[in-house]
Structure 1
């Protein structure tokens, strides 16, 4: 069985990085996805079981995952679900695995800051690998300043990338704002 799912849960084991015989990086960890429900009789939230998954990520996702995720982090994982029955003669069971296509911190529970990894040394020509701030089409310098450094009016929810020619300036204000409608322009 192979279905695409998205699971919200907690990284339950320290992520491990291994390499395949071909040298492909593989990061894996256990993910605990707890279920809760509201019990009207006691007016409290009660645990309703935990589903356990083995998450595996490959290549760049594996490298970024090992650098970003720690045991106890709340994460979202999206990927292919694989359910396998096993029997070793003494015990039998079922493994539930997710081959991750995407994963990251669950921002419902905290904050995270994105950082683009340095470009690999290989001469690949993928768009992802070729991008660098100095290659920006505007030709200007790209700065990564903290929102506080951009000024008191900066929007804290917006990353403070300041690119010349960007329609949103570093101070958080649009380059040109449309006129506000007057009372006469608004129909009742």
Structure 2
């Protein structure tokens, strides 16, 4: 999408991510993020909360599975994605409805006030261009999850 609106949201998850599967078996997770801006009021010498914005978010495929397994209500997260508008007709009232949704490209815990442990899942990656060995490659070019043979990153 060349005219997509990419944004990054930092906030708290308002409910546990809910994962479902499409008819073809593709995982999709829904979650909601509340983002409340804060600013310092010099007159009162206190922090003041602004108006909270609630973001309905959708994650697909492996991101959906990882989000559902890793994130919980109350977790502070950093989420990035594109804003889209969902439109539908209400079944009961027959009224046209719409809402803005953040289609997630990535989401993870904020480390501002917490610790997190990263567990790699063995995601597939492309073969190194410079001929270095980064694990065994199958016929489709996907790597098996192995430790790199040297200290250089694959990019």
TM-score after normalising by structure 2: 0.74
Alignment of structure 1 residues 103-182 onto 2, 5 Å: 103-117=107-121, 125=140, 127=142, 130-133=143-146, 136-138=148-150, 166=151
User: Is the contact made by 1:18 and 1:25 (CA closer than 8 Å) also made in structure 2?
Assistant: yes
RMSD: 2.8
Misfit runs of 4+, over 3 Å: 83-94, 123-127
1:41 aligned to 33, 43, 52, which one?
43
**Paired residues, number:** 135
The reply on whether 1:16 has 2:29 as its aligned counterpart is no
Alignment of structure 1 residues 62-81 onto 2, 5 Å: 62-81=64-83
Q: Which runs of 5+ in 2 are unaligned?
A: 125-137
TM-score after normalising by structure 1: 0.62
Q: Which has the higher helix share?
A: 1
| 1:37 to 1:131, Cα distance in 2 relative to 1, 3 A | same
SS at match of 1:133: coil
Give the CA deviation at 1:59: 0.6
CA offsets, 1:112-158, max 9 Å, x none?
Answer: 111012569xx88464xx24225x324xxxxxxxxxxxxxxxxxxxx
Higher relative contact order (CA 8 A, sep 6+): 2
Give the CA deviation at 1:2: 3.8
Give the CA deviation at 1:86: 6.5
CA offsets, 1:23-61, max 9 Å, x none?
Answer: 100111111001112222211111111011111111111
